[in-house]
Amino acid sequence: MVKLITVNERGSLTLPREARERLGVTRGGQLVMDIDEQGEVILRAGAVMPVEIYSSTREAEFQRMNELPLAGKKLQWKKGKKTR
């Protein structure tokens, strides 16, 4: 599919309906854009999920807060009453 798309003064563009349908993108959907070595623009349907990378200091903090207080303790699960 070849389409001519105009970029407006704000740098926005509108994907043609056929392209949105082919990518399965609806209002509020997200696209991943890549530009290869030849300058070709590649659009893929996708979702961007934030990822947090923890430093060793932050990992040690998690361990102090969560694991160390429970060290050596036997955990028991109590059965609760069934509710309807």
pLDDT recorded at residue 10: 95
34: β partners: 42
What is d(CA 26, CA 44) in angstroms, rounded to the nearest whole number?
13
pLDDT recorded at residue 83: 66
What residues contact 44, with CB distance under 8 A and at least 6 apart?
Answer: 23, 31, 32, 34
Q: Is this model's pTM higher than 0.85 or not?
A: no
pLDDT recorded at residue 18: 93
Could you give the C-alpha distances from 53 to 7, 19, 50, 58, 84, in angstroms and in order? 36, 35, 10, 9, 42
What secondary structure letter does DSSP report for 11?
A: S
32: β partners: 44
Q: What domains can you pick out in the chain, each with its CATH number? A: 15-70 (2.10.260)
Would you give per-residue pLDDT tens digits along the chain (84 residues)? 888 999 999 999 999 999 999 888 898 888 999 999 999 999 888 877 788 889 999 999 988 888 878 888 887 888 777 766
